[in-house]
Amino acid sequence: MAIRNIRTEGDEILKKRSKEVDVVDDKIRILIDDMVETMHAQNGVGLAAVQVGILKRILVIDIYDDETPIVKLVNPVIVKTKGEEEVEEGCLSFPNKFAKVKRPTEVTVEGLNENGEKIKIVGKGLLAQALAHEIDHLNGEVFVDKMIPGTLEIINPEE
């Protein structure tokens, strides 16, 4: 496994739509493992492949609650949403920036697991928020484009 470089604000790849994965093979599984390691090294909740410079529809999520296993999804699609709430978000590609966005309170996502098997995940609360955020990345959308005007905060890490 390896920690990969995270693409940050201003990198044009973050605005590109990721491509479907045709075959979930060992190369894809290595990428997924690297993404989990990179996410954990940065204390992130989620990471999309585009954030490490790979335009493939892959995401990983860990909400660190000891009940929800690490989510690893290939070709994820939101098939159903429920409710809406205003939540604060940050992003590893936008270090030290936080803003409020509107997200569904529950999402149902279908995709493939790391073995290429079809799976369905129902996420509520933080997991729903993370799934929506990472799937946005796969569509070339970033949270600052969806933020509620006037809610952007920039935190200076030295303070």
Active site members: 134
What 3-state class would DSSP assign to 40? helix
For 64, the token pair is 């660190």
Instruction: Check: CB of residue 138 under 8 Å from CB of residue 76.
Output: yes
Alpha-carbon torsion, ordered 33, 49, 75, 45, to 10 deg: 70
Sign of CA dihedral 32, 33, 38, 43: positive
